[in-house]
Amino acid sequence: MTQGAMLDWVSDKDKDGIRHILLEGKRSGRQPTVFIIGALRHKNKIQQELNILMARKLARKYWEDGWAVICPHLNGGAFDGDLDDHRIMAGHLVLLCKCDLAAVVKNKWLDESTGSKGEIEMADTAGVPIVWEEVRL
């Protein structure tokens, strides 16, 4: 997939910012990083799996476009209660603050996600640019 195909997903305003980040990463020799934000847990296990699939699809698009991707949906969930959720979330926030971009998976459950709200607030506070992405399965 080409960079242009990924940029079809975002607004014109965001396209310029993403292009700038990619260009600066290439100039510096450093791969730009993106953090995927989106609802994860849901009382309906099928919806929870759909949330993970949407995040995975978006993460894959960024990987294919040359980004290094941090996707909490595919990281901390593997521990399945073996570690404290607060410890995992705190670690994700540390990683988020080091990223060049935060990409938010838009869906109707995002407003109910306290984790996503916290990540969006942290990205904003840390000055990490945020883009909102529509993801269709």
- The CATH number of residue 13's host domain is 3.40.50.10400
d(CA 117, CA 20): 26
pLDDT tens digits along 24-69: 766 677 889 999 999 887 888 898 899 999 999 999 999 999 999 9
pLDDT tens digits along 78-108: 555 667 777 888 888 999 999 999 999 988 7
Parent domain of 8:
3-134
- Bigger pLDDT: 117 vs 20: 117
| pLDDT of res. 1 | 31
The total number of structural domains that make up the chain: 1
Pair type for strands 68-70 and 130-134: unpaired
